[in-house]
Structure 1
Amino acid sequence: MSTPVNLTSLAADLVPDEKVTPGLLGFVVFAALGVATWFLVKSMNKQFKRVNFVEEPEASNGTPGEAQAGS
C-alpha cells in the first residue's frame, strides 16, 4: 500500500508563507472584474431608463364582496 499524499501540506512546504502574494495577475483580474461590473451597471441603468411602466388597477372579477366602480 502506498502512503496518501496531502497536496496542501506539500505545496505549503515548497513556498514560504511570506513570499505568497497575489502579484500583478491578481491585480489585473481584480481590475478587470471591477471594470466589467461598472459596464454592467451602466448598461442596466440605461435599460431601466427605457422602461415605460404605468400601473393599472386590477380588473374587478365581479365577486359580491367588492364594490364595483360603475354602480
Structure 2
Amino acid sequence: MGGVTATHAFGRPLVSLAEVNQDKVTPGLLGFVIFAALAFGLWMLMKNMGKQMKKIDFEEQAPPAAPAPSDPEAPRP
C-alpha cells in the first residue's frame, strides 16, 4: 500500500475559479457579520425590554362612574 503524498491531500477543487460567475454579487463575510451583529443587538434589546416590563407594577383601576343624568325637564344652559 502506497503512502499518501501531498497531491492526494489537495485533490481536485470542488469549484474551479473558471466556473465562478464574476458578475454575481454575494453578501460575503462582511454581510454575514453585519447581519449577525444586528440579530445580536435585537436579541439584547428584547431581553432588556422583558426585564423592564417585569419591573412594572400595574394595577387596573375601575373606570370612573358616569355622572348621574340631571333632571330631563330642567332647562339647559
Query: The TM-score by the shorter chain falls in which range?
Result: 0.5 to 0.7
Instruction: Name the Cα RMSD after superposition.
Output: 1.7
Residue-pair matches, total: 49
Q: What pairs with 1:10-49 in structure 2 (closer than 5 Å)? A: 16-18=22-24, 20-49=25-54
Aligned to 2:9: none
CA distance in 2, matches of 1:17, 1:52: 58
Please say which structure displays the higher CA radius of gyration.
2
Aligned to 2:61: 56
When you count helix as a share of all residues, which structure comes out higher? 1
Could you say which structure has the greater relative contact order, defined with CA pairs below 8 angstroms and 6 or more residues apart? Answer: 1
Displaced runs of 4+ in structure 1, greater than 4 A?
A: none
Question: What's the TM-score once normalised by structure 2's chain length?
Answer: 0.56
SS of the equivalent of 1:36 reads helix
Identity %: 49
Question: What's the TM-score once normalised by structure 1's chain length?
Answer: 0.61
